């Protein structure tokens, strides 16, 4: 009679072996997770760079058929045309391509909405992959059919439902993430109405008001309660206490910066004795007043240095975006919007 078959006993992990496996897994996770996080951040930065580059490309495409000037909505939807030569009044018609520029339409919401209507941009391209604000989202109901519709006298040239109200004060929402050079003052003349400089930033990841680094940190009282949250801009591509962003220059090249003073971007300040100082340029702050005698109530925002912000015209708030002159479209009073 043969040997009886013995039942096979399954061997379980010992406690020591289990701990070794867990330790190995933990080590692998510690190595892999930072790499994945870094790869995701790099992918978002690459997408941010492409989208911002696409915005500038859209403007340059427009410029090729508009005397080398970037989009100016006030020249698309102009003032009434003085057909009789006796001054413009309400009896005069709106004539496409004729009449003075209507600078009231030159806020950023109109600029971007015009580009969408002209199929130079899509609403999705204007929202950062890193967007942090709950007020900012893609305008997924853009009305292309509104083109040519009458609003009483004139006809619509873009969807005016597009909003650049970054703080939610008027519309309550915003359809654009990016900070743009205002179409106002001397910088418009030098950098928007004609081909601009390779050291001048025209659109970028947005930053805090006046490039104030203290706004990148939250304020906490003695009890540890947050009294003032950090600027949303600290979390777009960096973290609390820091700012990092993609910059697009007037000549079309892009760069990435940590801080508000990009290398090579400067402005000139004239001292009281007539001497001139060349100083680093804070891209989110108007550092110098214009030489031109504007009537604007915000002269400090109309110089020729770099200034990037959000502007949004609201007909019920003259401080939002207001044309001070029917003749000079660069003479604007406006409120820069930062979060």
Residues 6+ apart with CB under 8 A from 57: 252
199 belongs to a structural domain: yes
2 belongs to a structural domain: no
Instruction: Quote the radius of gyration of the chain (alpha carbons, Å).
Output: 27
339 belongs to a structural domain: no
Say if CB 108 and CB 177 are below 8 A apart: no
233 belongs to a structural domain: yes
Does position 84 have pLDDT exceeding 80, yes or no? no
Q: What is this structure's pTM? A: 0.86
Mean pLDDT check: name the lowest of 85-89, 199-203, 212-216, 273-277: 85-89
The mean of the pLDDT values for the chain is 90
Does position 13 have pLDDT exceeding 70, yes or no? no
How confident is the model at residue 3, as a pLDDT?
59
For residues 31-42, give the mean pLDDT.
69
Domain range enclosing 33: 17-334
What is the Cα–Cα distance from 166 to 160, expressed in whole angstroms? 16
127 belongs to a structural domain: yes
Per DSSP, the three-state class of 277 is strand
H/E/C letters for each residue in 160-225? CCCCECCCCCCCCCECCCCEECCCCHHHHHHHCCCCCCCCCEEEECCCCHHHCHHHHCCEECCCCC
286 belongs to a structural domain: yes
Which residues in 71-86 are b (16+ Cβ under 10 Å) and which e? bbbbbbbbbbbbeeee
Task: Count the Cβ atoms, other than its own, within 10 Å of residue 252.
Answer: 15
pLDDT digits (tens, 9 = 90+) for 180-195: 999 999 999 999 999 9
What is the Cα–Cα distance from 180 to 177, expressed in whole angstroms? 10
- Percent helix, strand, coil in the chain (nearest 5)? 30, 15, 60
Does position 1 have pLDDT exceeding 60, yes or no? no
What is the Cα–Cα distance from 67 to 27, expressed in whole angstroms? 61
Question: From residue 302, how far is each of 17, 105, 111, 229, 246 by CA, in Å?
Answer: 71, 17, 18, 30, 24
Which ranges of the chain does DSSP label H, i.e. alpha helix?
15-63, 73-76, 108-117, 185-191
Say if CB 126 and CB 162 are below 8 A apart: no
Which residues in 29-43 are b (16+ Cβ under 10 Å) and which e? eeeeeeeeeeeeeee
Domain count for the chain: 1
What is the Cα–Cα distance from 268 to 256, expressed in whole angstroms? 24
What is the Cα–Cα distance from 332 to 183, expressed in whole angstroms? 9
262 belongs to a structural domain: yes
Does position 19 have pLDDT exceeding 90, yes or no? no
pLDDT digits (tens, 9 = 90+) for 134-164: 999 999 999 999 998 876 678 899 999 999 9
118 belongs to a structural domain: yes
For residues 45-71, give the mean pLDDT.
97
How confident is the model at residue 5, as a pLDDT?
57
């Amino acid at each position: 009679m043969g040997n009886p078959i013995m039942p096979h006993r399954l061997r379980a992990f010992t406690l020591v072996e289990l701990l070794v496996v867990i330790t190995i897994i933990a080590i692998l996770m510690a190595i892999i997770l930072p790499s994945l996080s870094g790869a995701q951040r790099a992918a978002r930065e690459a997408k941010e760079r492409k989208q911002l580059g696409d915005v500038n490309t859209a403007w340059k495409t427009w410029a090729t058929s508009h005397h080398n000037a970037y989009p100016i909505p006030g020249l698309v939807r102009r003032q009434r045309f003085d057909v009789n030569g006796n001054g413009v009044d309400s009896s005069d018609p709106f004539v496409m391509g004729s009449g003075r520029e209507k600078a009231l339409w030159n806020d950023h919401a109109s600029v971007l909405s015009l580009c969408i209507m002209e199929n130079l941009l899509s609403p999705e391209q204007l929202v950062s992959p890193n967007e942090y604000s709950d007020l900012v989202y893609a305008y997924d109901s853009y009305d292309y059919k509104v083109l040519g519709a009458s609003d009483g006298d004139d006809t619509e040239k873009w969807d005016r439902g597009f909003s650049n109200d970054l703080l939610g004060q008027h519309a309550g929402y915003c359809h654009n993430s990016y900070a743009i050079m205002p179409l106002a003052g001397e910088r418009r003349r030098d950098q928007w109405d004609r081909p601009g400089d390779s050291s001048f930033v025209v659109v970028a990841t947005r930053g805090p008001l006046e490039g104030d680094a203290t706004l990148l940190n939250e304020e906490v009282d003695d009890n540890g309660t947050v009294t003032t949250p950090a600027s949303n801009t600290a979390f777009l591509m960096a973290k609390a206490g820091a700012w990092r962003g993609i910059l697009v220059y007037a000549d079309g090249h892009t760069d990435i910066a940590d801080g508000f003073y990009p290398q090579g971007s400067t402005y000139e300040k004239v001292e009281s004795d007539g001497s001139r100082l060349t100083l680093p340029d804070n891209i989110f702050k108007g550092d110098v007043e214009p030489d031109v005698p504007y009537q604007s109530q915000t002269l400090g925002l109309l110089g020729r240095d770099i200034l990037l912000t959000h502007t949004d015209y609201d007909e019920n708030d003259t401080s939002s975006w207001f044309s001070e002159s029917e003749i000079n479209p660069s003479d604007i009073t406006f409120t820069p919007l930062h979060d």
